[in-house]
Amino acid sequence: MALQTNRRFSTWIGGFLLVVPSIAAVAVFVYGMIAWTVRISMTDRISASIKEPKFVGLQNYSNLISDSRFTHAFENLLKFTFVFIVGTTIAGFIMALLLEKGIKGEGFFRSFYLYPLAISFIAMGTVWNWLLNSNVDADAGGLNLLLQKAGLGFLQNSWYLSENGAAYALALPAIWQMAGYVLALFLAGFRGIPDDLREAARVDGASESKIYRYVLFPQLTPTLFTVLIILGHVSMKVFDLIIGINGKSYVTQVVAVYMWESTFDQRNYAKGTAIAVVLLLLIALIIVPYLRWVIKQEEENR
Amino acid sequence: MRKGTYKFVAGLFAIALLAAGCSSSSDSASEETASEESAEVVADPELEIFTWWAAGGEAAGLAGLEAEFAANNPDTKYINAAISGGAGVNAKAVLQSRLDANDPPDSFQAHAGMELDGYVKGGQLEDLTFLYKEQGWDTIFPADLVKTLTVDGKIYSVPVNIHRANVLWWNPATAEKAGITAAPATLDEFFAALDKFKKIGIPGLALAGKGDWAIAHLLDWMLLATLGPDAFEGLFNGNTSWTGPEVEAALKNFQKALSYGNKGAGNLDWPDAGKLVTSGKAGFFIMGDWASAQWQADGLTLGTDYTWAPAPGTVGVYQWLSDSFTLPVGAKHRNAGIAWLTVAGSKAGQDAFNPKKGSIPARTDADTALYDDYLKAAMEQWKTDRLVGSTVHGVTGNNALMAAYNAAVGKYFSGGAKDNKGLAADLQAAYDAGQA
């Protein structure tokens, strides 16, 4: 008995030693840094001239609420996130639905739609900056010109330069990039459903549309959940796409861009770190319930 | 068993933190001894220079300065730590983290003036007054410039060049077509000329809205043109109110000028907007004199393809900005850093740098034969004009003020240039942010 415990312990310690370096690295470089950031965010290091920062509690956080630039960036982020998630999910889902039947050249289409994912946000931002040219009618270029040629001239608009529509317009390139990824996820979801289920439904006399509605779609709920989580946290962190398209311009600023500006341009470390912590909490709000759900699923399956 | 695991992990965490703490403290100890040693050596083996001059005329100018340094200091190896990105957008973040980590370069580039404020207050720069005395710069640089560079009796940077912000550019052929015979000297003449451009069907003023700063640059000129140099300087020392009637009038002028702008300005960077002017698609362009260097690099000729005048309403006023070099506290090769600054402030150094960069020397005794016609004229006016600093380029306001100033203008411009009251309030807030 004692021997058995001993052996179990020795295998355990062996495995444990193997992961020690990564645990230590994560502890210092992830959790240690988070703790450091939280610490700075509770001091008054609001400019480079403050050499001995004092503890001010949650002052920086309450300042953010009344900071019109932060609320502007936050509003932009919410608008962007909404359009991005809804648009990407719907586009990806429809494409998956079309490919799901196993059409000819499926492999080609799958990689074709996935390729945008391989482009860096910065390069993509530069190209979309041209595509989203705000000139209309005679001076039009990019999408506006395309719309004109397609006889849809009335749809032309100033894209990311319009005061209220900027954040929505920025979601376009993001949707373009991520839709292929969502397609792949949904397609894998469809493939994961056993054919028996369809066969059984057909034998029971269900029409094709009813099979989708009542048999296949409900099975995709976990996939949908995963898609929403992935898109949600990608969206919260969006930074390089915005910089690539429109630099640090006020009109398209989101939370991460304002964080950069506060920290490195204004040199207001306290504000910058407070924004970083808010962003972290927002992402945690999405990720943590998801992780709990995944762990619960795993335990149920065991 | 499980509880034990947690304890074990917690212990590891503590050890890791301790290890990290120890290693960093031992690093700084070794650095200190290194700098003590180097103080006794006459020629440092290396010199690390940090700039955002990575391409074009800027990089060529830096290379000229480097050659001059190498000729005077043959035993020191020059290390170019340039990080690309216009106006230092990327470089400033890298520099800041290096300074905070006590790993400064031996000298770094920064706009002279209030942009240095954060570094100065943070105790990250050495006082260079001794070098000014030693080299006689306090009499060779214009008095207005030395006054602006002096903070509480100390000078923290050596200006290597001067750019002019308030310059009006246009294409002579376009102006002729519109019937404009002379450069507008006042705001009234300026608006009259804008109307003439409008009549021939082109926008009177080329605007570049991307990144907000070029529009803020325009506002900076308009404030100066409307308020005059004294009241303009008052905006930054608290003597002129941002929400008073003078600024209100300036913003009204600004709004009017913007109404002559090109469509889709928000998509454009300043070189794109400049091209509208040189290609005859827009009338005037108000931009710093780096535009001239850019156009010459594009193969255009001063006088035929484009021409210039002091911006309307600011004739006789030289709104300047300056690239300067500093000596960070704790520089590893302090002697080499000082040797670099000596070259940067010297006549030979400035004449090696500026013709290539397309700017004029800060010194008043440079060799005019090396410079093109625009720069020659600018050098004359630099000696006689009233000197006023630029806000957008770091002379009159620190980093916090600049960031908020640009954002305030960006908000106003993207909102359709309607809310003058809101802009005034945001500008006031920007000024306050700079005081914090």
Cα–Cα distance, A75 to B95 (Å, whole number): 31
Q: Which residues contact B128 (CB under 8 A, 6 or more apart)?
A: B154, B155, B156, B157, B158, B326, B327, B341
Cβ–Cβ gap B403/A246 under 8 Å: no
Q: Assess whether pLDDT exceeds 90 at residue A52.
A: no
Cβ–Cβ gap B267/A139 under 8 Å: no
- Least CB–CB distance from B266: residue in A24, A46, A134: A134
Report the DSSP beta bridge partners of residue B110: B324
Position B223 scores a pLDDT of 97
Per residue in B187-210, is it b (16+ CB within 10 Å) or e — as a string? beebbebbeebeeeebbbbbbbbb
Position A163 scores a pLDDT of 72
Q: Please give the helix or strand (H or E) that residue B170 lies within, else none.
A: strand B167-170
What is the residue-level pLDDT of chain B in tens, covering all 436 positions? 444 555 555 554 555 444 444 444 434 434 444 444 444 446 788 999 999 888 778 888 999 999 999 999 998 999 998 887 655 667 878 888 888 888 999 999 999 999 898 889 888 999 999 999 999 998 899 988 999 899 899 999 999 999 999 999 999 999 999 999 999 999 999 999 999 999 999 999 999 988 899 999 999 999 999 999 999 999 999 999 999 999 999 999 999 999 999 988 888 889 999 999 999 999 999 999 999 988 998 899 999 999 999 999 999 999 999 999 999 999 999 999 999 999 999 999 999 999 999 999 999 898 899 999 999 999 999 999 999 999 999 899 988 899 999 999 999 998 889 999 999 999 999 999 888 7
Cβ–Cβ gap B267/A129 under 8 Å: yes
Comparing A138-147, A169-178, B335-344, the range with the smallest average pLDDT is A138-147
Written as one string, the DSSP assignment of B283-326 is: SEEEE-THHHHHHHHTT--BTTTBEEEEPTT-TTEEEEE-EEEE
Residues of chain B with C-beta less than 8 angstroms from the C-beta of A45: none
Comparing A39-53, A62-76, B204-218, B406-420, the range with the smallest average pLDDT is A39-53
Domain spans in chain A, listed from the N-terminal domain onward: 60-301
The SS3 of residue A242 is: helix
Fold category of B164-321+384-435 in CATH:
D-Maltodextrin-Binding Protein; domain 2 (3.40.190)
Which ipTM was obtained for this model?
0.80
Residues of chain A with C-beta less than 8 angstroms from the C-beta of B436: 46-47
Position B6 scores a pLDDT of 53
Question: What is the residue whose two structure tokens read 């000819």?
Answer: A104
Q: Assess whether pLDDT exceeds 80 at residue A42.
A: yes
Residues of chain A with C-beta less than 8 angstroms from the C-beta of B404: 266
Position B331 scores a pLDDT of 92
Identify the residue among A267, A269, A273, A275 best suited for mutation to test binding to B, counting B beta carbons within 10 A and taking the highest: A267
Cβ–Cβ gap B209/A161 under 8 Å: yes
Does B38-162+323-375 carry CATH code 3.40.190.10? yes
The SS3 of residue A167 is: helix
pLDDT in tens, A238-283: 998 898 888 888 999 999 999 999 988 888 899 999 999 999 999 9
- Strand-pair category, B46-50 with B77-80: parallel
Cβ–Cβ gap B399/A266 under 8 Å: yes
Cβ contact B168:B183 at 8 Å: yes
Q: Does the CB of A230 have a partner CB in chain B at under 8 Å?
A: no
Cβ–Cβ gap B406/A251 under 8 Å: no
- Least CB–CB distance from B399: residue in A69, A134, A267: A267
The SS3 of residue B49 is: strand
Residues of chain A with C-beta less than 8 angstroms from the C-beta of B425: none
Give how far A28 is from chain B: nearest CA, Å.
7
Tokens standing for residue B96: 């800041």
Cα–Cα distance, A4 to B256 (Å, whole number): 87
Cβ–Cβ gap A47/B403 under 8 Å: no
Every domain range in chain B assigned CATH 3.40.190.10: 38-162+323-375, 164-321+384-435
Position A94 scores a pLDDT of 93
User: Is the pLDDT higher at B1 or at A225?
Assistant: A225
Q: Please tell me the total number of residues recorded for chain A in this structure.
A: 302
- Least CB–CB distance from B210: residue in A47, A136, A246: A246
pLDDT in tens, A19-32: 999 999 999 999 99
Q: Does the CB of A23 have a partner CB in chain B at under 8 Å?
A: yes
**Cα–Cα–Cα angle for B188, B194, B198, nearest 5°?**
145
Q: Dmax over Cα atoms in chain B, in whole Å? A: 92
Strand ranges, E, within B45-149: 46-50, 77-80, 107-111
Q: Which residues contact A126 (CB under 8 A, 6 or more apart)?
A: A244, A245
Written as one string, the DSSP assignment of A7-57 is: HHHHHHHHHHHHHHHHHHHHIIIIIIHHHHHHHHHTB---STT-SS--B-T
Give how far B56 is from chain A: nearest CA, Å.
21
Write down the mean pLDDT value for chain A: 87
Position B36 scores a pLDDT of 41
Which residue of A lies nearest to B96 if distances are taken between CA atoms? A264
CB atoms within 10 A of CB B119: 26
Identify the residue among B17, B152, B156, B267 best suited for mutation to test binding to A, counting A beta carbons within 10 A and taking the highest: B267
Position B86 scores a pLDDT of 59
Cβ contact B354:B366 at 8 Å: yes
Position B197 scores a pLDDT of 97
Give how far A231 is from chain B: nearest CA, Å.
27
Cβ–Cβ gap B267/A133 under 8 Å: yes
In this structure, CATH architecture of domain A60-301: Orthogonal Bundle (1.10)
Cβ–Cβ gap A261/B403 under 8 Å: yes
Cβ–Cβ gap B267/A69 under 8 Å: no
Residues of chain A with C-beta less than 8 angstroms from the C-beta of B400: 47, 265-268
